[in-house]
Amino acid sequence: MKKQVKTYVLSCDVCQRTKDEHILKSGLLQPLPIPSQAWETISMDFIEGLPISKRFNFILLIIDKYTKYGHFLPLAHPFTTTEVASAYLDNVFKLHGSPKVIVSDRDRIFTNIF
- 14 phi and psi, to 5 degrees? -65, -40
Binning pLDDT at 50, 70 and 90, where does residue 19 land?
Answer: low
Binning pLDDT at 50, 70 and 90, where does residue 9 land?
Answer: confident
Q: What is the pLDDT of residues 20-49, one digit of tens each?
A: 667 777 778 778 888 999 999 999 998 888
Strand locations in the chain, DSSP E?
A: 41-47, 58-64, 70-75, 101-103, 109-111
Q: What is the pLDDT of residues 69-107, one digit of tens each?
A: 999 999 998 889 999 999 999 999 999 999 998 887 555
Range 102-111 burial, b when 16+ CB lie within 10 A, else e: bbeeeeeeee
In terms of pLDDT, which residue wins out, 19 or 70? 70
User: Residue 109: its pLDDT value, please?
Assistant: 52
- Domain architecture of the chain: domains with CATH: 41-111 (3.30.420.10)
User: Residue 106: its pLDDT value, please?
Assistant: 57
